[in-house]
């Protein structure tokens, strides 16, 4: 059977030795360099991964810091907006109060002026009434008073004078 397959038992050690030598040679020339290459490659990859992780962590830290700064700035802006709004409201209230006071003062002055004008007008009218009344009386007296009346007036005058001297 072995002869049919063209196999010779005395060649087997040779073949085995051949295999061993081949294995050793391949190990030295191929396996070790490839293994070294793979190890170096793995080391490079690990270094890159580590660097990438560090970079990612750095980025994360920066992002967190950025977000904190943004939040702080927003908080500051909100507080400032509240302060400004409060100040504006206060100023508006103050202006409104001043305007109200001023308008009340103007109203008081206007009322006083109107009352004064009213009194003045009333005095003028009453003065006119007195003048007109006296003028009418004058006209009537000028027309109606006769000499006898003038004599009676004279007597009354002296009587009053005498009474005044007695008092």
* Footprint of another protein (CB under 8 A): 119, 122-123, 126-127, 130-131, 133-134, 137-138, 141-142, 145, 147, 149-151, 153-155, 157-158
Query: Which DSSP string corresponds to 103-153?
Result: HHHHHHHHHHHHHHHHHHHHHHHHHHHHHHHHHHHHHHHHHH--HHHHHHH
The whole-angstrom separation of Cα 75 and Cα 82 is 10
Closer CB to another protein, 75 or 149, in the complex: 149
Burial class (CB in 10 A: 0-12, 13-18, 19+), 8: exposed
Identity of the residue, 53 or 155, whose beta carbon is nearer to another protein in the bound complex: 155
Q: How far is the CB of 158 from another protein (least distance, A)?
A: 4
- Least distance to another protein, CB of residue 163, Å: 13
Give least dist CB 157 to another protein, A.
Answer: 5
Closest distance of CB 154 from another protein, Å: 5
Say which DSSP state 6 is in: T
Place of tokens 């202006």: 95
Residue number, 95 or 137, with CB nearest to another protein: 137
State the CB neighbour count (10 A cutoff) for residue 146: 8
Q: Which is nearer to another protein, 56 or 156 (CB)?
A: 156
């Amino acid at each position: 059977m072995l002869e049919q397959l063209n196999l010779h038992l005395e060649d087997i050690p040779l073949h085995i030795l051949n295999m061993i030598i081949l294995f050793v040679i391949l190990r030295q020339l191929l396996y070790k360099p490839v293994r070294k290459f793979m190890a170096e490659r793995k080391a490079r990859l690990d270094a890159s991964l580590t660097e990438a992780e560090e970079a990612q962590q750095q980025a994360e830290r920066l992002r967190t810091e950025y977000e904190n700064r943004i939040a702080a700035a927003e908080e500051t802006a909100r507080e400032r907006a509240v302060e400004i709004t409060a100040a504006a409201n206060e100023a508006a209230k103050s202006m409104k109060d001043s305007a109200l006071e001023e308008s009340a003062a103007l109203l008081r002055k206007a009322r006083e002026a109107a009352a004064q004008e009213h009194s003045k007008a009333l005095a003028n009218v009453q003065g006119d009434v007195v003048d007109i009344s006296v003028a009418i009386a004058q006209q009537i007296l000028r027309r109606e008073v006769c000499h006898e009346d003038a004599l009676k007036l004279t007597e009354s005058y002296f009587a009053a004078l005498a009474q005044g001297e007695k008092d």
